[in-house]
């Protein structure tokens, strides 16, 4: 998933083809719903419209009535930006789904603006002959981040540090409630990636480096979908997606062929046994324990060591893993949704990309700006006998089952009853608690922490007072951005809730005299996906400005506390001796005051590292269990403090 305007240059040719396709189909566009291909509309008494019947019976009845065009339309997903100007495309193409990429928002980016937009698209889907409702998908990866004012939680890596499966369930239940109240019924999350190399720009989307830890955090699927299959019909639940199947966080550095990316979308070089144990294990839990509704394959490839390295296969083309392992061995009965234009990375021309991915087991196709071309191409492939009708029926059956389970045939329009809970104090309180539980205390010399309330605190560093930086990527826009982009509390705001004697200087230029304690906040600025890969304008090293702030403040003030606000561990080996206390704050999201709650002892430090902390950048990849394991801080490390100590 990525920003809808990304790489638009390479898409222009295809978009023109797409437009040509639409203009070449006047009959389809002009045709009244009841007369699509001369087929009659279904009677109101049709079994598929009877909610008392079991889902498989409803699916069979509906499938029997559908034309090939209607089936292929169900397998197609377009970006809202591609259909917004001409919403009749939804009807003409029988579209099964529409999505918002990161930052793809209605002009009125409010709960009502979202719901009105999704409902307007839904109206066009319901104008089709069989009135099959639309599924709307979105990346709510740490709260409904596209919506300004939604509750923004810590990114997954912070929740891996908190190691509280019940809290993860609660967070995802809130995210589901806030998302569905604005229209989308489907979330492209959680990422059950296992991060094996911190140079990966998506490291913060992972719960950690071991499949066991990731598996424990999959309670979030239950938060999204509910505990029982019938819960998905309720207006507070959504269809969940586990991603990116499989090996997305386990690719070899330097193996990516996407733009400037170094590791994201690269190649996982492994043997089948190791791959199943590390990278596939979380999907077994997702399917068998939590009944996840959809799975998104990875942009990355797998290169089996068994037959010699050098012949990687793109995951979207991998029949063995999508059909054989996922749908076969593991028993996944939901549907597979491709990632953003991902099939276009498969070798060959577009027809061969479509044919290969459908036959490999992809069911719905995220073709953001080439939906018309996809429909036309797949129809031609089926008619030429290169894709079997049984494969089409299997895909459509899976997609329709999800729509029935979500209750969309009965209630296609947005149920807005929970809109007033979006960003509510109760929801933000959960986010604040999550922030506190995610903090990892890595050093605490001489009981520097917790701080005394009303201590004279000198705060330095841009990340102490930057909402956008502490929220990270996937916040309002795909890449996220620095600055005051969402409501909430910064870390500085939180510190000021505990002490009236706070001096803030972003660059530590204000005199430090009279301060009891210095708090230096270092870290990263926002990024998402391969844009954040090390070697692509990013490094694990601290910035020169951050190093200067540490040197200055820790050199001048008796007690010096350093907080790292970042999506992954940074290299602090040469600065650690200067700090009295060192805290990993991850990307806390909207409620930075949760950081102050542990700094001042209102809550105890209890987080533990979900990843190994490297001594140097070139120590990556380093993971617990490695033969010569010698990190700066090991996986699972984290000091505790007692609540209330020091007051």
- Do 75 and 371 form a contact (C-beta atoms < 8 A)? no
Global pTM exceeds 0.75: yes
DSSP assignment of 519-576 equals EEEEE-----GGGGSBTTTB-SBPPHHHHHHHHHHHHHSSEEEEEEESSS--B-TTTG
Pair 392, 312 in one domain = yes
Which pLDDT score is estimated for 14?
A: 36
Rounded to whole angstroms, the Cα distance separating 16 from 124 reads: 23
- List the beta strands (DSSP E) in 367-435: none
CATH for 103: 3.20.20.300
Pair 249, 277 in one domain = yes
* Tally of domains within the chain: 2
Domain assignment present for residue 626? The answer is: no
Pair 409, 433 in one domain = no
Q: In what order do the strands lie in the sheet with 313-314?
A: 267-270, 301-304, 313-314
- Do 217 and 195 form a contact (C-beta atoms < 8 A)? no
Q: Which helix (H) or strand (E) holds 270?
A: strand 267-270
Token digits of residue 104: 């793809």
Q: Decide which of 397, 420, 443 is a domain's last residue.
A: 420
Peptide bond before 190: cis, by omega within 30 degrees of 0? yes
Domain assignment present for residue 46? The answer is: no
Pair 378, 462 in one domain = no
Which pLDDT score is estimated for 315?
A: 98
Pair 511, 537 in one domain = yes
Sign of CA dihedral 451, 457, 462, 467: positive
Domain assignment present for residue 256? The answer is: yes
Residues of the chain with pLDDT under 70: 1-37, 643-647
Could you give the maximum distance between any two Cα atoms of the chain, in Å?
84
Pair 111, 94 in one domain = yes
Q: Decide which of 360, 387, 420 is a domain's last residue.
A: 420
Pair 226, 366 in one domain = yes
Which residues, in sequence order, are CB contacts of 611 under 8 Å at separation 6+?
Answer: 157, 160, 195, 198, 203, 208, 209, 568, 569, 635
Distance from the Cα of residue 228 to its chain's centroid: 23
Pair 318, 467 in one domain = no
Query: Rounded to whole angstroms, what are the CA distances from 577 to 144, 187, 550?
Result: 40, 44, 11
Domain assignment present for residue 82? The answer is: yes
| Residues 90-100: b if buried by 16+ CB within 10 A, e if exposed | bbbbbbbbbbb
Rounded to whole angstroms, the Cα distance separating 529 from 474 reads: 10
CATH for 467: 3.40.50.1700
Query: Rounded to whole angstroms, what are the CA distances from 396 to 18, 362, 446?
Result: 23, 11, 63
Which pLDDT score is estimated for 42?
A: 86
Q: Decide which of 403, 420, 437 is a domain's last residue.
A: 420
Pair 398, 450 in one domain = no
Q: Could you identify the residue written with the tokens 């070899």?
A: 252
Pair 405, 430 in one domain = no
Which pLDDT score is estimated for 39?
A: 83
Domain assignment present for residue 17? The answer is: no
Rounded to whole angstroms, the Cα distance separating 542 from 462 reads: 13
Which pLDDT score is estimated for 258?
A: 98
Rounded to whole angstroms, the Cα distance separating 87 from 138 reads: 18
- List the beta strands (DSSP E) in 417-550: 440-444, 457-460, 502-505, 517-523
Token digits of residue 186: 């489907």
Pair 288, 184 in one domain = yes
Domain assignment present for residue 439? The answer is: yes
Domain assignment present for residue 29? The answer is: no
Domain holding 448, by residue range, is 424-619
Nearest alpha-carbon partner for 203 in 138, 141, 156 = 156
Domain assignment present for residue 1? The answer is: no
Pair 286, 158 in one domain = yes
Which pLDDT score is estimated for 642?
A: 72
Token digits of residue 460: 């330095």
Three-state SS string over 185-198 comes to: CEECCCECCECCCC
Which pLDDT score is estimated for 26?
A: 36
Catalytic annotation, residues: 339, 529
- Do 276 and 264 form a contact (C-beta atoms < 8 A)? no
């Amino acid at each position: 998933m990525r920003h809808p305007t990304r790489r638009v240059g390479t898409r222009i040719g295809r978009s023109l083809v797409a437009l040509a396709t639409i203009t070449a189909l006047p009959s389809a566009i002009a045709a009244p719903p009841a007369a699509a291909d001369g087929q009659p509309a279904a009677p109101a008494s049709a079994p598929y419209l009877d909610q008392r019947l079991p889902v498989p019976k409803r699916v069979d009845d509906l499938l029997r009535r559908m034309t090939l065009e209607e089936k292929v339309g169900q397998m197609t997903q377009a970006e809202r930006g591609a259909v917004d100007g001409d919403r009749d495309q939804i009807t003409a193409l029988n579209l099964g789904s529409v999505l918002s990429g990161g930052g793809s928002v209605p002009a009125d980016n409010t709960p009502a603006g979202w719901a009105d937009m999704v409902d307007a698209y839904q109206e066009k889907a319901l104008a089709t002959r069989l009135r099959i409702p639309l599924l709307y998908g979105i990346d709510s990866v740490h709260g409904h981040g596209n919506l300004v004012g939604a509750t923004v939680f810590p990114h997954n890596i912070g929740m891996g540090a908190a190691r509280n499966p019940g809290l993860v369930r609660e967070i995802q239940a809130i995210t589901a409630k806030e998302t569905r109240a604005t229209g989308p019924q489907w979330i492209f999350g959680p990422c059950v990636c296992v991060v094996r190399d911190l140079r990966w720009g998506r490291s913060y989307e992972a719960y950690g480096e071991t499949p066991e830890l990731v598996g424990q955090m999959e309670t979030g699927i239950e938060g999204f979908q509910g505990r029982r299959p019938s819960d998905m019909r309720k207006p507070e639940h959504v269809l969940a997606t586990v991603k990116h199947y499989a090996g997305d966080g386990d690719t070899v550095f330097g193996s990516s062929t996407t733009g400037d990316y170094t590791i994201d979308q690269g190649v996982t070089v492994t043997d089948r046994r190791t791959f199943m144990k590390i990278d596939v294990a979380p999907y077994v839990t997702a399917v068998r324990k939590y009944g996840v509704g959809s799975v998104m394959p990875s942009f990355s490839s797998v290169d089996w060591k068994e037959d010699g390295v050098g012949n990687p296969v793109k995951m979207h083309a991998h029949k063995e893993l999508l059909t054989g392992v996922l749908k076969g061995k593991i028993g996944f009965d939901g549907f597979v949704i491709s990632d953003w234009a991902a099939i276009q990375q498969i070798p060959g021309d577009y027809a061969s990309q479509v044919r290969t991915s459908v036959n490999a087991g992809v069911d719905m196709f995220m073709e953001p700006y080439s939906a018309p071309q996809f429909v036309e191409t797949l129809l031609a492939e089926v008619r030429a006998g290169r894709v079997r009708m049984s494969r089409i029926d299997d895909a459509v059956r899976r997609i329709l089952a999800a729509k029935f389970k979500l209750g969309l045939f009965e209630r296609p329009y947005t149920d807005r009853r929970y809109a007033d809970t979006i960003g509510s104090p109760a929801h933000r309180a959960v986010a604040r608690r999550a922030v506190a539980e995610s903090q990892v205390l890595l050093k605490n010399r001489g009981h520097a922490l917790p701080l005394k309330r009303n201590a004279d605190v000198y705060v330095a560093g841009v990340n102490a007072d930057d909402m956008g930086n502490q929220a990270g990527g996937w916040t309002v826009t795909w890449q996220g951005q620095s600055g005051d982009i969402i409501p909430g509390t910064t870390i500085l705001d939180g510190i000021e809730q505990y002490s009236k004697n706070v001096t803030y200087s972003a660059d530590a230029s204000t005199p430090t005299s009279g301060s009891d304690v210095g708090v230096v906040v270092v870290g990263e600025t926002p990024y998402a996906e391969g844009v954040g890969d090390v070697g692509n304008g990013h490094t694990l090293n601290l910035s020169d400005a951050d190093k200067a702030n540490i040197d200055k403040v820790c050199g001048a003030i008796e007690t010096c506390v350093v907080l790292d606000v970042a999506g992954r561990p940074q290299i602090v080996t040469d600065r650690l001796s200067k700090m009295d206390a060192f805290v990993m704050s991850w990307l806390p999201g909207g409620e930075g005051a949760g950081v102050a709650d542990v700094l001042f002892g209102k809550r105890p430090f209890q987080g533990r590292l979900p990843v190994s902390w490297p001594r140097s950048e070139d120590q990556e990849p380093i993971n617990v269990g490695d033969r010569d394991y010698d990190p700066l801080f090991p996986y699972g490390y984290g000091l505790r403090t007692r609540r209330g100590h020091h007051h």
